[in-house]
Amino acid sequence: MRHAELLELGLRKFEIERLVRRGHLQHAHGRYVAGSLDRRIAVIACAQSAHPRSVISHFSAAELTGLRVWSDRDARPSADVWLTCEPGPRRNLRRADVVLRRAGLTETDLDLRHGLWITSAARTTVDIARELPFREAVVTVDHALARSVSRSELDAVLARQYQWPGVAKARAVVAFADPRAESALESYARATFAERGLPSAILQAQFWDGDHWLTDRVDLWWPEFRTIGEADGLEKFEAPTASERRWRLRRAFERDQRLADRGLELVHFGWEDAVLRPDALVQRFRAAFQRGSRRTDPAPTWRTAA
């Protein structure tokens, strides 16, 4: 509600201020909402209310639904709240606190979350893919496919957005995306490798040890070069206790040894490698490819994990 509407209900100015101080009301974008509402949802809801007939979209819709977005805020357009509204006499609005895009919306583009109208998962995914650079957009589309969004749903949105700004890039991202990528780092690295001319890798491969399939999966596998790539984000080794962290590290070391015993090249990399030193990382892989391709012993038996 607006300040004037609260006054019409009989509240006085000092009473409204006291309710805000005590946390019974929250204030954002010129609107007031209940203090019990999650702060971030409150901010988004107030922004939407300040722009009638708008729908929460893009990065704000992703935030409300948990859709993965490239986490470096310097790498994506920054704003407090993103909204979409049907075309009208006014133009797009872009401020530090709100971005309002005017674009067509169909019934299938809409979803209801937390009592708020937001763009559907497929529409949100394509909108973000149109906004972000290729590598960052792959992070979101991989995650959307891994969750519940189908390629046919994304293709339908792309078809409706024919000739919209950025749609050609979004189409390329959707074609490249792979739901088997299990982390943002894997997604980002795959796109980085593709842009620098490395051949495509198999995701989530398992190996046969002679008696059974090893339970451990590898992130990236190039069978023609007998090379494995492991995306080592910190979350792999995060644990509530020091003993648990040590166990995870020990398990990773033992697995690496099992893979090395099979004559495989193994390249570990982290965010710093993929983001800050991508050319050096690509050279590491090319060197591993050369070493692996020279081996003459039998290649291991492998399969793509279910």
Burial category of 192 from C-beta neighbours within 10 Å (exposed 0-12, middle 13-18, buried 19 and up): buried
Pair (30, 42) in one structural domain: no
Out of 179, 202, 228, a domain closes at: 179
Domain endpoint, select from 179, 204, 236: 179
Q: Biggest alpha carbon distance in the chain?
A: 86
- Domain check: are 152 and 201 in the same one? no
Do residue 152 and residue 56 come from a single domain? yes
**Cα-flanking dihedrals φ and ψ of residue 219, to 5°?**
-70, -50
Residues 222 and 278 in one domain: yes
CATH of the domain at 221: 3.40.960
- Reported residue count of the chain is 306
Per the CB < 8 A criterion, the answer to whether 201 and 190 are in contact is yes
Residue with tokens 């006291």: 18
Query: Residue 39's closest CA among 50, 30, 28?
Result: 28
Cβ atoms of 211 and 183 within 8 Å: the answer is no
* Whether residues 102 and 75 fall in one domain: yes
Instruction: Name the domain boundary from 179, 212, 238.
Output: 179
Q: How far apart are the first and last CA of the chain?
A: 51
In terms of domains, do 270 and 142 share one?
no
pLDDT tens digits in sequence order for the chain, 306 residues long: 889 988 898 999 999 899 999 888 998 888 898 888 898 999 999 999 999 899 999 999 999 999 999 865 554 555 689 999 998 777 788 888 899 999 999 999 999 998 899 999 999 999 999 999 999 999 999 999 999 899 999 999 999 999 999 999 999 999 999 999 999 999 999 999 999 999 999 999 998 877 888 777 899 999 999 999 999 855 555 656 777 777 677 777 777 777 877 889 999 999 999 999 999 999 999 999 999 999 988 888 999 976
Q: How many domains does the chain have?
A: 3
Query: In Å, how far from its chain's centre is CA 226?
Result: 29
Query: Are 124 and 162 contained in the same domain?
Result: yes
- What amino acid is encoded at 68 in this protein? R
Q: Are both 197 and 297 inside the same structural domain?
A: yes
User: Are 4 and 131 found together in one domain?
Assistant: no
Distance CA 274, CA 280 (A): 9
User: Which residue range(s) make up the domain with 130?
Assistant: 37-179
Q: Domain check: are 43 and 31 in the same one?
A: no
What is the distance between the alpha carbons of residues 54 and 67, in angstroms, rounded to a whole number?
20
2 and 96 fall within a common domain: no
Based on the fold, state whether residues 172 and 211 are members of the same structural domain. no
